[in-house]
Structure 1
Amino acid sequence: MLTEWEEASAVRVLPPARARKLAKVPFVELADGRLQGVVSSGSDIERVYVSAIAAGDFAFACATNNNRPCGGARGSFCNHISAMLGEAVLQYGGDRVARYLRVDPGGAEPTAQSLGTAMRAARPPAADGKAVAAQVFSRFLRHLAYLELAPTNEPLPELHWFPPTRVVV
């Protein structure tokens, strides 16, 4: 039997574990079997980096919004991936990020640093940054479009084709 929120046409929004600033990492999500997000460039206001870490094998990718590979993501996590991981821990909490990525950092409450250290120790492979960047950046732009809509309690017609499913995270 479905609960009331499972039959609703609106998505239940979980509050962030802790408040975070959106200037450096405006978008971070646990989706498509990855921790993925968009990270602002520190040197160019026009450039963002799309970063991702795959659950399980920790394959990572980082590329610009123009599909150019990140110069720092050679053999290990770059600063963009580390920033995204830190914001994910603020947004979702260390335990949830660790469960989703299937990493055991050891110790008590997982932190971004302990998660990063545990994943780096597994010597993760680099993933195809261009393929990941296109998917994640497209999702980010779609989320930005929702911010331009007027506030309403009415369902969004473009999302009505989604069948009601049970979401387990």
Structure 2
Amino acid sequence: MTAPARPRKLAKVPFVELAGGRLQGVVSSGSDIGRVYVSSVASGTYAFACSTNNNRPCGGARGSFCNHIRALINEAVLQYGAERVARYLKVETASGEPSASTVETCMSGTRPSQADTKDAAPVFSRFLRHLAYLELAPSAAPLPEMQWFPPTRTVA
């Protein structure tokens, strides 16, 4: 696991990952506290998808990136660093250190297409699984589903 490039606030984008050939994550709604959006951008093609947790399409993602996808890109850059996000998404940036705005601008300039939202359910499911760990009481006992992690210290 790589340490975040910079600390980030989790209120707007509580979950972001580079997985499955996509930048994907969960973005909070700006207008309804009970609604979240599952947003993604495909590596290489920049095909994007954005829908609610109830699989309703985002009204802002019509032909271009919506604000949810922009927020996802910004938070991914904070989490992983602009260079890693650009490399993963196969974004060709001008010379110099890329930033969230240059990554987004380079992808938007290629006229990305809207993708199917069929992959939203597994992303949202992983997000919910991560939330479940926050509800556990602090304990030093091992979690069965986490046993594949190597031990951090040797017991004598």
| 1:39-118 alignment runs, 5 A limit | 39-118=27-106
Q: 1:154 deviation in Å?
A: 4.9
The alignment covers a number of residue pairs equal to: 150
What TM-score results when the alignment is normalised by the length of structure 2?
0.89
What TM-score results when the alignment is normalised by the length of structure 1?
0.82
What corresponds to 1:28 in structure 2?
Answer: 16
Q: Which one-letter code corresponds to 2:39 in the other structure?
A: S
Q: Which one-letter code corresponds to 1:79 in the other structure?
A: N
Q: Which of 125, 136, 143 is the equivalent residue of 1:156?
A: 143
C-alpha change, 1:23 and 1:158, in structure 2 (3 Å) is same
What corresponds to 1:135 in structure 2?
Answer: 122
What corresponds to 2:2 in structure 1?
Answer: 14
Rounded Cα–Cα distance in structure 2 between residues aligned with 1:153 and 1:98: 38
Q: Which one-letter code corresponds to 1:125 in the other structure?
A: S
Q: Which moved more, 1:120-129 or 1:85-94?
A: 120-129
Q: Percent identity?
A: 69
Segments of structure 2 that go 5 or more residues without pairing to the other structure are 151-156
* Residue deviations 1:5-64 (CA, integer Å, cap 9, x gap): xxxxxxxx3221011111111111111111001111110001011100011111100000
Work out whether 1:146 is the aligned partner of 2:151: no
Task: Classify the secondary structure of the residue corresponding to 1:39.
Answer: strand
Q: 1:81 deviation in Å?
A: 0.1
* Residue deviations 1:112-145 (CA, integer Å, cap 9, x gap): 110111111111111112x122121111001111
Q: Which moved more, 1:78-87 or 1:131-140?
A: 131-140
Q: Which moved more, 1:112-121 or 1:143-152?
A: 143-152
Q: 1:159 deviation in Å?
A: 4.0
Q: Which one-letter code corresponds to 1:38 in the other structure?
A: V
* Residue deviations 1:74-132 (CA, integer Å, cap 9, x gap): 11100000000000000100001011111112131111110111111111111112x12
Question: Which contiguous aligned blocks of 4+ residues in structure 1 show a shift greater than 3 angstroms?
Answer: 150-155
Rounded Cα–Cα distance in structure 1 between residues aligned with 2:31 and 2:95: 36
Segments of structure 1 that go 5 or more residues without pairing to the other structure are 1-12, 165-169
Task: Classify the secondary structure of the residue corresponding to 2:119.
Answer: helix
Rounded Cα–Cα distance in structure 1 between residues aligned with 2:66 and 2:24: 14
